[in-house]
Amino acid sequence: MADWHKPIKIIIGGLWLGLFGSALILWWRSDMPLTEIPRLLEQWLSEFGLVKAASIYVVIYAIRPLILFPATLLTVASGLVFGPWLGVLFTILGENASANLAFVMARWFGRGTVVKYADRWRRWDQKLERNGLVTVLIMRLAMLPFDAVNFGCGLTAVRQRDFALGTFFGILPSLIGFVLLGGTVASGVAHRGAIIGLSLMFLAVGFSTAHVLNRRERRNTLMPRESIPVRNT
């Protein structure tokens, strides 16, 4: 099976690199600052109805890992395009689809190589397999680079289910925070000050929860070492 998988991976990998290179060249020639993209996306999607605009947005977000477009800009754009409340819903759909696509891509392309050559990482890999859910949850709450976590976890033994659940719950504080922040500049939004305060509160809750979980996880990894019974041989 591996014999026919290899050329397929090479072909798809080449197409992927070609797509990424083409997108990079187009952006470079356009002289367009990345920070302008949320506003341009708002202008473009405003030409469609809500359902069509939301569908386009979710699809764009889902395939975003193919060109490594910054996830935060699309998250902020959602609040700008759809407002703070609908923006949260559509971003949850797009961001989770995006994360799992990147995970599957990394798992398919690189996991076999990691297993074959990275013997010195085996203990760490096994630990991730056992504690994948909590590990992913902490990384998401701490807002570590989104794509680095997606692709990195795909290369490890983290179970897809643990990755998906850790991502779904772990991204919520930062996702809501950034969408609300983007929504404050949308037209017709009232109580902007309160929304900004709510946004900062969600971001703070995410960081605080990550810190608490990380401390608890460190304690749990140290305790078994102290309580391991000594066997008489």
In a domain, 63, yes or no: yes
Residues 40 and 96 both lie in one domain: yes
Contact criterion met (CB below 8 Å) for 118 and 150: no
**Number of domains forming the structure of the chain:** 2
Residues 7 and 45 both lie in one domain: no
Residues 76 and 10 both lie in one domain: no
Determine if the pTM surpasses 0.75. yes
In a domain, 233, yes or no: no
Task: Decide if pLDDT at 223 tops 60.
Answer: no
DSSP string, 9-51: HHHHHHHHHHHHHHHHHHHHHHT--GGGHHHHHHHHHTTS-HH
In a domain, 232, yes or no: no
Residue 80 burial (CB < 10 Å; 0-12/13-18/19+)? Answer: buried
> Which residues form the domain of 20?
1-31
Residues 7 and 39 both lie in one domain: no
Task: Decide if pLDDT at 54 tops 90.
Answer: yes
Structure tokens at 230: 């000594």
Percent of the chain whose pLDDT exceeds 90: 33
pLDDT one-digit tens code per residue, 158-210: 999 999 999 999 999 999 988 888 777 665 666 777 888 888 999 999 999 99
Rounded CA separation 84/79 (Å): 5
Task: Decide if pLDDT at 15 tops 90.
Answer: no
Task: Decide if pLDDT at 69 tops 80.
Answer: yes
In a domain, 230, yes or no: no
pLDDT of residue 61: 93
In a domain, 206, yes or no: yes
Rounded CA separation 205/103 (Å): 26
Residues 17 and 54 both lie in one domain: no
